[in-house]
Every structure is written in C-alpha cells, then in structure tokens.
Structure 1
Amino acid sequence: MLGLPRRWLRQLTYLIGFLIVAIILLIVANSSNVIKLQDYIPTSLTPSFFQPSADSYIVDISINNCFAYNSGNKKCGIPGDSEGKYGKIPEDSSKWIKLDKDLLLGSSWIKKQFLSYKTVKSSVFLGAFEEDSDSNEKRDNNKITEKLVIIDIAISNPSQDSKIKGNEKLKLPKYIIDEFHSGKVFDDDAHKNLIDNDNDIKPIKIDLEKDKQNSASTKLSEAAKQKEFEENIQPQNPSKSDGSIEENADGDIVSENQEDGDIKSSKRSVETSRHELERMLYVPTKEDLAKDGWVYKSNGIWLRYGKVQANAVTGIDILFGEDAVDPRPNWNLIKDGPLRDIATQPDKKAYLTVRKGDKVNYKQAKYSPVLKINKNGKFKILQVADLHFSTGVGKCRDPVPSSSKKGCEADPRTLKFLEKVLELEKPDLVVLSGDQIFGETAPDSETALFKALHPFVSRKIPFAVTLGNHDHEGSLTKSEMMSLAASLPYSLAQLGPEDIDGFGNYVLTVEGPASHNPALSLFFLDTHAYSQNPKVTPGYDWIKENQLKWVEETHANMKKAIDAYTHIHLSMAFFHIPIPEYRNLHQPFIGEQKEGITAPRYNTGARSILNKVGVKVVSVGHDHCNDYCLLDIANKDSEEENKMWLCYGGGSGEGGYGGYGGYIRRLRIYEIDSNNAEIKSWKRTEQEPDQIVDTQILVTDGKVVNF
C-alpha cells in the first residue's frame, strides 16, 4: 500500500467510501422493504443484517363460530373488516386470514369454530398509508400511530398456573411469569419487593399480648384478602396510604387498631434472607402486564404487543393432540396448555403453534442436502411403510402380543420403534412409501403428517415421500399432502410434473463418492388409490401410461451423466401399491407372505419399463403383513430374459391392520455398496429391533443375484 502512487491511494479511498455508503443504503432500503435482497441473493449467502423484514405482521387474533350449513362460505367465521386492532384499513394493506381448520374437528353438526388472525402490511407501519377506497380521502392515521404488532403469545393453563404462589387469583400463564421474572434485575430493591409481596412469610412474630396479637393478625389477614379481592391483583408493597400497615425507619411493623386507634409496633424476630424465601417468582400485576404489552384475548390466549421487530409473530397455526409436534425449525408449538373452551375430544385438544420472523426457505442448502455415497462407498436407505398415523395418539389395531392391546396408543408406540431403528441404523436417506397417515382417523392431516416426518427432520436426515391410498382421506387432498411433505426441511419429495397423472412422480440421484455423477438413481411413482372404473376393473388403480413415458424420458435425459460415472450405476424404484408381478409366488422369495397381494388387475407394463431404465429392485408397501423379496424372472430361457427383485417394506404402524399369523411390525433397510455395485437388504422387527432379520444380497456387480 505504501508503495502505491497517491492517485491510486486516493481512488482506493473513494472506492471504499462508496462501498460503505452503498452498504448503508442497501441496509436501509432492505429494512424498509424498498428493495428485497432475497430476490437477488440466495438466503444462504445473505448476511444476517441483510435478512428481509416480514411482508406483513399479525396484529390481532379472533375465534368465532360458524353455522355448519354455511361453513363453505369463505367469510363464515371471519370478523368484519372494521373489527380487530386498528379497525378498518384498506383491504390491500390489511386483512383477516382464517385458518381452514374446524377447531371442533367436525364433532358438532350445528356449528364449526375457526381461528382467524389479522395481518397488516409492513408498509403501513412505515407510514405508506393508502387512500380509503370508500371516501377517497386520506386515511386518518391517529389510530395507528402506536404501530404495535404481536411479538409474543402465551396460553394459560389454569389448573397448573394457579399452583404458582401468588397466582391463585389471576392465574397468569407460567410463561408470562417466567418471562417477566427473567427480565428483572435482582438487586436489593427487588429482593425487598419479593419479601414484601410474599404472602407466605411466616417467621414474623409480633410482641403483643396474645389476644391482641390474634385480633391484629386476623384483621391484617382480612384486610389483605379484601384488598386482593377488590383489585384482583398480587398485593402491592405495604404503605401508609391504606391506613392499616406501615413500616417505621427501624424496620418495625406498625399496626393500627381501627376500633380503639391504638398503635403498637413490633420487631421482626428473624432475618428474611433471600436464600430463605420459599418463592422467588414475582407475579406481575395488571399494571405490570399493561406496561409489558400483555393483553388477554379469549380461549386462554394472551397476546404481547410491541414495536415492529425482526422476531415478531408472522405465522399462526393449530395442531391437535398432546402428542402433536411441529417439525418446522422456526415454529414453536405452545404446549403449556390447549386452547380453552374448545369442545374437542380429550386426545385431540387444539394447540397453538407460532412462527416468529420471516418465512424460511427450506430449499436452501442448509435444509436440502445433496445425497452422496460416503467415502467408504456405502449408502443406506431406511424404508418406512404404512405408518398409519392419526390426529391424536390413535388406537392400536391387532398389536402383538394381543395382551398389549388394552390402553395401547398407536402412534407413540410406533414412534418408539421407529426411533430405535433410526438410532441403530443411522440411514443416509429415509423413504416413506405411502399411507403415512390413516385418513379416517386423521381429521387434521397436517398434525398426523408432522408426527410422521418429525423424527427425520429433528435428526436432519433427508427423506423422500410417496403417497398411499389413505393419505388423502383426511382433511387434505393428495396435492396438498405432497406439497406439505415437500415443503419441510430435509425433504427431497417433489410434487412432480403437472402434466403427468398423480402427485409425487420424481427421481432422486445419489452422487458417487469422488464425483458429482450419479451412482444411484431412485424413481418414485404415484400408484394412486382405487380403480376409477370398479365395475369393469375392480380393486386398486394402476400406474398410468404417461407416468411410464415420463420415466423413459427422464432416464434418457440422465443417460449422459450416468455414462460419465466410472463405476456401475444402480437403480431402484419405490411406490405404494404393488404391481401385478408381485403375485408370481411360484418363484423363490425370502420373507413372509401372510395376506393376499392387492395389486391392480390391470397391467400397464410398469415392470417392463422399469427394467428398461435399469431398475433392479422395486420396493412397495400397502400389504402390511407381507414383507418378502421375490425374485421375478421375465421372459425366462429367452434372449430377453431379465430379473428383478420385487420387495415389500412390511407394515410398521400400530394404527394400521396387522395380526395375520401373529405378524410383527417391521422396517426394511437397503445398503448400497458402490465399490461392488451391490444392493443388500435386511429387516428389523418391533419385538426384537436389535436383531437383523432375513439378510440377503439382491444385486452384485450391477446384476440381480440368484438364490
């Protein structure tokens, strides 16, 4: 730098100054939503101080009833435009958003109950007010000068909250008390305040005659109770203003007898050390709550208002059941208590979940890892078939042993088994092959699906999803179910091409250990549900011709990259309903076949097309009590002879049927060895998850292995 000409140094100084000014302007413009850097720079590359503010903020919440016959009306159950905080704001700046979930879960024939929240665009809080469409006059800005938004939410649980000393009357949510308490600086003044407000300080003795002592203490107690009742708040610091209790300069308690006017003083006989206090939580008063921005709404919901900030509440949702979970990293499920006065079933109570800050893009690299064979040439896949999760804990169907049926909760028991296998196997990818939820027991499909996918999201394990015939029988359609699954962190699921039948037709590739070329291709197909023409072809639906054409075209587009892979490329396929060739049981198989094969009766030639694109192993679910791998040989003893393994994952969920011949729930694992172009498989059962069952090598050197 010292050796540079002055002219260069001057120009470099100008450049640095220009960059600093430009960065400051970008920060201001981005925070004011003048520009949105996320539209130009990936979120993963955007510095934290450049993170965009929310497009809108939530300013109010309302729960309203709606007559069942009118529930199809989008406005039914939504407050009027002029209702809620700030009143009426031009429609394009503010609106009520109704969660399309009946809080009663259809339990009432007369009414439905909906939660709505009111949003206001961020530009409103920045002063960009628009003209009122009715009067064409500039909107009066007085009502919104405070510019407050919801920054926190708490839910009360009276039966638990009332157990907190000093909270018996207000029954404030413990969350508010903890939050208020954590924000206090505990110095000597705060310590004194805690002492004075502690109702349970008993080591205070008054040196009066016994009868006057009893009388005075009784009057003190009654006065304190009367004051607490009238104000409905935690008793405040004793003061002379009420004419009954004061403390002199020496720390004496002075009592005034209202009957005879005599005043007596007494000494504290023991020291009230901060270490001897039984309660160290300060219960805020109504005034404290107001200063801190807390406001009670209804149904146990408390809202905290504050100035617009990055971590303000920007999303609200409802999940059901004590076992509900929210796998989304920036969402918080409030489990302190369910919403009150909601007439739902005991195991399906409504819980609030909230998002703070802006919506996160889960497709960024942090949440969407690239699949890759590890340095040892291995890649492990766990297939999870037929979880059959419910809204609420669900009931066990045909558990083994049968003696365990009483009081058996299906979903918690299934999760315990699944999580045990995840710990043992530590898979690189999880494939859910359909019927993640059992529609008829899942009036809120989102709750059930979140439970099914949470184990993988929480462990940061990539997962893929195909749909079964029961996934769309709850509150969400097939398109909505696949979209929801695809939207979550670590999900590699895709909705698939719009012009192809079904939802969830896609392919994933796993890179080789030393290159980006695909070492393994995984095809996922939607096998739909029931036959569209049951009178002609009863039973289940089939893979459509345009899906198979898409498979061929996709493989052709991948061929150049596949050919660039220096080892032998392998392919597998996963879907829910088996293809007709699964019925070829005259051929060798390993595993159990304890129920009929419910494949479609119409054959579109899916096996032939899959063989054409190199698929050596197909794995499905659907038939819970079958878990075999069948070696299917087509065109035997001819030049076109080809072999393919047709495998079942085996049912894993206690919420689905089972029990044929004492069938035990199980999970299937596949291990790919790219060094030997090998695919190996085994299973683990709920009864003995530590034991490996039916280990078999399916493919070696890229070729299907004979028995």
Structure 2
Amino acid sequence: MFSSLQKRRILNTVRKIIIPALILLCLVSCSSIKTHFINTVTPRPIADGYKGGVIDDVRLIKCFHWFRDCNVVYEKTYFKRSLEPWLRVNKNLNDDRLFAAELGLLYRTFLYVHLGKAASEKKCISDLVISRDKSTVPVQVLQDINDRVRSKDSSMFHKHDHQKGFWAKLLGAKADGLTVKGEDWHYKGLGVWCKFSSSPTDDEGQLVTNIQVFIGDGFTDPRPMWKSAITGMAREKGFPLSVSVQKFEKNALHTDSSGAGDLFMKNGEYKILQLSDLHVGVSSQECGITCSEDLKTTRFISYVLAEEHPDLVIFTGDLIDGLNTLDFQAALLKATEPIILAGIPWLISWGTSDFSRFASKGQILDFVEQLPFCLNRPNKRLLEYVPPHTTNNALSLSNENGLVGILYILDSTSSENSADFLASAYKQTTDCLFGDLLYSLAFQHSPIPEYRPSGAFPIIGSYNEKEPLDIAQLGVGDTLKKLGVQALSCGNEHANDCCLFDEGIWLCYSGQTGVAGHSPSDSDLSTVRLFRVNDRIKEITTWKRNTNSPDEVYDYQFLFNDKQ
C-alpha cells in the first residue's frame, strides 16, 4: 500500500502531465472547432473559386458538408496563423464530386490556393509538383535539393502522412507535414510540394499564375507556358486527376488568335488539313483500349503535320465522345495537342458528339476560344452582321494584291440558318475587302441533301453510307452554288471518304480520322483529307492520307481550275 506522502506525489505527477495535455488538447480542439464554425457561419465573398493570379500557398483541403461554400474556405496559411480565405481550383462542371481529390463520408477534398501579391514582402509560389505516391519525393524536388538527399537519415525518406485517429479524421485534422528547411521546396501534405520564389519578385515567367485540374489519365498539357504538375493522380473513388500550372510571360510566343479572320497565302499557295470524327475520350471507365487508340490517332496526325506542313487545320466535328467523357477540357486538349504543339492555326465545325453531360455548350465554346492558335471566335468584321454567339464563321483568304478567297466554317448542329449566314458573310467580306474573289470552300460536320444525288454522277473514293440524313439543312446547297463555292467537305459518315459532283459543286467527305470512332468497316483506319489552293496556276486540288500507307497520298483530284 502507498503511504499518504507517496499518493500525494503520484497525484502531483499525474496533474503535471494531464493538465498540460488537457490544455494542449483544448487548444487543438478549439482551433479545429473555430475553423469549422467560421466556415459554417461566415458569409463568403462573391467568388467562383480561383480564376488565376499569383499565389503564396497551395494545399489539398477538406470541405465538409456543413461548410457554407466550398468555393471559398477559411484556413491558416504558411505565412499567417490567422484564418484566411482560400479559393478552390474549380472546373466548369456541374458536379464537383468529379474533380474532388478525395470523397469522404462527411467531406470532399479539393485543391485550394491562397492568393498572393507579386513584389510583396511574402514569397510567392514559383513551381508546383504533386507526387502520385504520398510517401515518396518527386524526382524534380530531389534534383533541386540533392544536397539534402545525401543524408541517409533525412526525413524525406520517411513516410510523410502519419496515421490519424478517428476523431482527428472526423474533425479534419491535418497530417504531419514535412518542410525541407533551408530549401525552396516545401511539403504541404497529401503529396503536394510547392516551391517558393527565391525572393519577392514579379518577374514574368518566374511565378505560377494559374492552376487547372483535369479528369482522366493519358493527358499532357500542350499549351505554351503550361506544364503538368501531375498526370494520373489516383483516387479511391473516381477517375485519376491531372493538374497543370501556368507561368505567364507577355513576351512569349503569341498564341491568341481571337477575332482574327484574315488568312494570307505563302508563295501563292494555301494548304488546309481536314480532320473529322476523332471521338477522343480521356476519362472513360474503359480507358485502356480507347486511350491507346487515341494515341494512335494523335501520332498519325503529328506525322501528317510533319509531312504536309498545312497552313490551317479544320476539325469537322465529333472531336470528343461527349457521351463517355467526363472532362471535355481534357478531351479537347488531347484532340488538339498535335496542332497546338505545331503552332498551326485551327478551328472547329461542331459535331453531334461535341457536348458534355456536365457542362453547357457556352462553357465549351469559352474554353475552346481561349486555346492557343484557335480561330473559332467570329472575326470582328462579321460581328455586327451575324446573330450574337454565332458558331458559324467565315475567313478571308488574301495574297499581296488583296482578297482571293473565302473559307466558310458552318455549324450543322446549330439552330441558326446557315444559308442566311453564308449570304451575310459573303456580302460583308466582299464589301470590306478589295480583290478578285476566285476561290471558295466550305466545311461542316453533317452532309446536306445534295450528298444523296440520284442517277449517275462523278465520284472519287468510297461511298458506303447512304442512309437518309438526320438534318435537312434545306437551302444551304443552293446558297453555296449561288455564291460560287467550289467544294463543301464534311465528316459524320465514317465509311465515306469520297468526293462526288453535283450541279457545279464538289461534295466531299474527309473520312474518319479517329481510330476509336468505330466505323462500319475498317474501324482501325485513320484518314485525313487535304486541300491546296494554288493561286499561281489558279486551281484547287485535294487528296488523302491514311494509316495503312501514311507515306503515300491517294485519290488526288482537281476541284477547280480557272482554265476550265
């Protein structure tokens, strides 16, 4: 039995241990409770999440279901211990579960940033890397801090995320983080590593100015000034995520073609590459086969670009597989990757599969128009004379002497009357520009009724699909002929790659470019069509290439010759 003196000593010892522990527990709990209280009751500033700008902190943060708004949450920052507003890196999708890094019973985890100020006393983030395995250090970080790596007992070789108890998980307690002191890289938990600028600076190209999240695997960001922080970050629930960061530079390669509508010949020639029905999908649950087929398609396109050196690329619809794609942004970037990397102007004539189950058509248009080298925004010359938000377009083709041609890009999925647009675009272009209009070509996704001629007619290529057309588009063919358009080329019907002649106009198909497009025959064959306007000899020609014999051209034919 203990004496009374021993009991008092034991009691005092217990008090010395328990009381500080209780105080510490209270402080931790109060801090967590305060965070939850602030996020539940505090009115949020009007914000749709992070829209770009320099940042001084980045982290994966839990947003609990009782929080007032997940677009903005209050958390402590690296520089301040007080609660500060953090902005979520959002996506233009109507279901935020699709881009949550983690889906818990009571919370969802998203990537958040804290806005910084360039040239302030705080250092801003100059780079971001996310590790697929939270227990390892990314190669880029190891290269930058290689002096630290030489130490065998470095904490970098230990597991970074320590186990948390039930109540800690419930209240959202953070895992113990690792900070490499004396170095620029800092570990922010859950595999996130950020690098701070060596000194407060607003030098262009030195700071991260934007972050975007994409859904799906097999994705590489082709945009200039953008780099991938991670591709294929695995999630327990949902498809992998990819994260890209931007370092903006004003003096970098100019890629903004918004509002441009004037094309110029080089050495008296202009070459156009038509691609159609790629049906790209990067986030399908059965991505294994689909993604490998998409890779075959993009490699073939890259090969054609290197061989032909086109001046313009026109997609005639169905770039993406809208029904089976979660993230239209990732799919569109994947489809346009070879063209953006080659620095070639391009635009889209929309198809029936170019939609998203989780975003509006307007959101898709806004994203596309911001992509490098894209010409989809109607040129300024037509804005006053066409309906607002039109998805039709017309580009003038000029040489050193002035206007020589017009390219019409029509949207066969739109409710807008394409015949009226054609007439208006022709009038405004010829009234505003001087020259001798000699060449006219039109492109759209779906064929018009004239693609089903009766009797005998000239034809070059395969013509296997002849079912009734879903979209009538009455009056378009007559207007094209009236305006002197020499050829209309479309996609949609995968098994057709011919050009047929009908009363003064050639009606062409591009053939199916996407290997994963599943045509009725030769589903593994990828085909593209090219057009060349040669002003020196006054003619328009066309030919094709396919994956069976990519080095060879075939079905070479004349569409127009001024001597005829």
Aligning the two structures, in what range does the TM-score lie when normalised by the shorter sequence? Answer: 0.7 to 0.9
CA distance in 2, matches of 1:607, 1:501: 24
- Correspondence 1:372 to 2:264: yes
Larger radius of gyration: 1
Matched, 1:467 2:343: no
Match of 2:73 in 1: 80
Q: CA deviation at 1:578?
A: 1.2
Q: Does 1:120 align with 2:115?
A: yes
Q: Aligned letter for 1:657? A: H
- Mapped contact 1:368–1:491 kept (Cα < 8 A): no
Q: Secondary structure at the match of 1:614?
A: coil
Displacement after TM superposition at 1:392 (Å):
4.6
Contact kept, 8 Å, 2:284 with 2:325, in 1: the verdict is no
Q: Does 1:572 align with 2:446?
A: no
In the TM superposition, 1:291-302 aligns within 5 A as 291-302=182-193
Residue of structure 1 in register with 2:452 after alignment: 583
Q: Distance in 1 between matches of 2:544 and 2:516?
A: 20
- The offset of 1:501, in angstroms, is 7.7
Does 2:24 correspond to 1:57? no
Q: Distance in 2 between matches of 1:79 and 1:408?
A: 35
**What corresponds to 1:290 in structure 2?**
181
AA paired with 2:411?
A: D
Amino acid at match of 1:438: D
2:136–2:157: 8 Å Cα contact kept in structure 1? Answer: no
Matched with 2:275 is 384
Give the superposition deviation at 1:623: 0.9
Match of 2:12 in 1: none
* Residue 506 (structure 2) pairs with residue 612 (structure 1): no
C-alpha contact 1:103 1:350 (8 A) present in aligned 2: no
**Unaligned 5+ residue runs, structure 1?**
1-53, 127-145, 160-169, 185-192, 200-227, 236-285, 397-404, 530-542, 634-642
Give the C-alpha shift of residue 395 in structure 1.
Answer: 6.5
The aligned amino acid for 1:624 is H
Q: Check conservation: 1:525, 1:574, Cα contact below 8 A.
A: yes
Matches within 5 A, 1:251-650: 289-306=180-197, 307-309=199-201, 310=203, 311-335=206-230, 338-339=232-233, 341=235, 343-345=237-239, 349-357=240-248, 371-375=263-267, 377-392=268-283, 409-494=292-377, 500=387, 503-512=390-399, 514-515=400-401, 517-528=402-413, 544-545=416-417, 547-560=418-431, 564-566=434-436, 569-586=438-455, 587-597=457-467, 599-600=469-470, 602-633=472-503, 643-650=504-511
For 1:575 and 1:419, the matched residues in 2 are separated by: 23
Decide whether the 8 Å contact of 2:278 with 2:318 is kept in 1: yes
Instruction: Answer yes or no: is the 8 Å Cα contact 2:217–2:282 preserved in 1.
Output: no
Q: Percent identity?
A: 25
> As a proportion of its length, which structure holds more strand?
2
Distance in structure 2 (CA, Å) of the matches to 1:364 and 1:603:
33
Whole-angstrom distance in 2 between the partners of 1:112 and 1:503:
41
Provide closer, same or farther for how the CA distance between residues 288 and 79 of structure 1 changes in structure 2, counting only shifts above 3 A.
Answer: closer
Contact kept, 8 Å, 2:178 with 2:187, in 1: the verdict is: no
Q: 1:58, 1:314 within 8 Å by CA — same for their partners in 2? A: no
TM-score normalised by length of structure 1: 0.60
Cα offset, 1:326, TM superposition: 1.2
Secondary structure of the residue aligned to 2:233 is coil
How do 1:204-283 and structure 2 match up within 5 A? 228=153, 232=155
Alignment partners' CA distance in 1, 2:181 and 2:285: 42
Q: 1:609 to 1:113 in 2, by over 3 A?
A: farther
From 500, 508, 518, the counterpart of 1:657: 518
Q: 1:63 to 1:696 in 2, by over 3 A?
A: farther
* Secondary structure, aligned partner of 2:180: helix
- CA distance in 1: counterparts of 2:107 and 2:494, whole angstroms: 36
2:449 touches 2:474 (CA, 8 Å); kept in 1?
no
| CA gap 1:110/1:495 in 2 versus in 1, 3 angstroms | farther
For 1:156 and 1:326, the matched residues in 2 are separated by 17
Measured in 2, the distance between the counterparts of 1:88 and 1:599 equals 64
Shift in alpha-carbon separation, 1:315–1:598, aligned structure 2, 3 A: farther
Q: 1:152 to 1:501 in 2, by over 3 A?
A: closer
Q: Which amino acid in 2 is paired with 1:581?
A: E
Q: What is the CA RMSD across the aligned residues, in angstroms?
A: 3.8
1:612–1:77 CA distance, 2 compared to 1 (3 A): same
Give 1:678 deviation, angstroms.
1.1
Query: 1:615, 1:481 → 2: CA distance?
Result: 30
TM-fit CA distance, 1:287: 9.1
- Checking the alignment, whether the CA contact within 8 Å between 1:103 and 1:112 is kept in structure 2 is no
Output the CA distance in 2 between the equivalents of 1:381 and 1:604. 27
User: Which deviates more from structure 2 when the two are superposed, residues 287-296 or residues 590-599?
Assistant: 287-296
Q: Secondary structure at the match of 1:351?
A: strand
SS in structure 2 at match of 1:520: strand
- The secondary structure found in structure 2 opposite 1:415 is helix
Change (3 A) 1:488 1:80: closer
Cα separation, partners in 2 of 1:557 and 1:56, compared to 1, 3 Å: same
**Residue 472 of structure 1, CA deviation:** 1.0
User: How far apart, CA to CA, are the structure 1 residues paired with 2:269 and 2:407?
Assistant: 15
- CA displacement, residues 176-226 of structure 1 (integer Å, 9 cap, x when unaligned): 111223xx7xxxxxxxx99xx576xxxxxxxxxxxxxxxxxxxxxxxxxxx
* Contact 1:483 1:494 (8 Å CA) reproduced: no
Cα contact 2:261–2:394 (8 A) shared by 1: no
Report the counterpart of residue 669 of structure 1 in structure 2. Answer: 530
Residue type at the aligned position of 1:430: V
Contact 1:585 1:630 in 2 (8 A): no
Question: Secondary structure at 2:145's aligned position in 1?
Answer: helix
In 2, are the aligned partners of 1:77 and 1:114 still within 8 Å (CA)? Answer: no
Distance 1:117 1:663 in 2: 42
Whole-Å Cα distance in 2 between the matches of residues 330 and 387 of structure 1? 26
> Would the alpha carbon gap of residues 66 and 409 (structure 1) be closer, same or farther in structure 2, given more than 3 Å must change?
farther
TM-aligned CA distance change 1:232 to 1:594, over 3 Å? same
State the AA in 2 paired with 1:528.
T
Aligned length: 481
Match of residue 15 from structure 1: none
Whichever residue aligns with residue 479 of structure 1, its letter is: G
Q: Distance in 1 between matches of 2:468 and 2:307?
A: 32
* CA–CA distance in structure 1, aligned partners of residues 87 and 304 of structure 2: 47
Letter in 1 for 2:225: N
Q: Distance in 2 between matches of 1:387 and 1:596?
A: 21
Secondary structure of the 1:122 match is coil
Q: Distance in 2 between matches of 1:445 and 1:407?
A: 15
| CA displacement at 1:108 relative to structure 2 | 7.9
CA contact (8 A) 2:60 2:111 kept: yes
| Bigger mean CA offset, 57-66 vs 461-470 | 57-66
1:421 Cα deviation from its structure 2 partner: 1.6
Aligned-partner Cα distance in 2 for 1:611–1:57: 56
Structure 1 position 456, deviation (Å): 0.9
Q: TM-score, normalised by structure 2?
A: 0.74
In the TM superposition, what is the alpha-carbon distance from 1:484 to its structure 2 partner?
2.0
Aligned position for 1:150? 125
